[in-house]
């Protein structure tokens, strides 16, 4: 996910704000502390980025 955000020049703060996802969830995911985020979180991130869940988790 970090690569996609960097490629698109999207900050974690912007993702949190615009995708309406708790900041702590995103930081745990990007730092590898949450290796099993909920489907709603994953779908919200994928939808915001305009990609499929499969593309996000690759």
Give me the average pLDDT of each 10-residue run along the chain (58 residues): 91 93 90 91 95 91
Q: How many structural domains does the chain have?
A: 1
* pLDDT for position 39: 93
* pLDDT for position 58: 81
* CATH number of the domain to which 38 belongs: 1.10.260.40
Q: Which domain holds residue 13?
A: 2-57
* pLDDT for position 1: 84
Q: Position of tokens 């970090």?
A: 2
* pLDDT for position 42: 94
* pLDDT for position 30: 86
Report pTM: 0.84
Largest CA distance in the chain: 25
Query: How far, in whole angstroms, is CA 58 from its chain's centroid?
Result: 13
């Amino acid at each position: 996910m970090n690569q996609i955000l960097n490629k698109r020049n999207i900050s974690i703060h912007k993702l949190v704000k615009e995708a309406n996802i708790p900041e702590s969830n995103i930081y745990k995911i990007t730092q590898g502390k949450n290796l099993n985020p909920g489907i709603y979180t994953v779908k919200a991130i994928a939808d915001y980025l305009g990609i499929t869940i499969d593309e996000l988790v690759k």
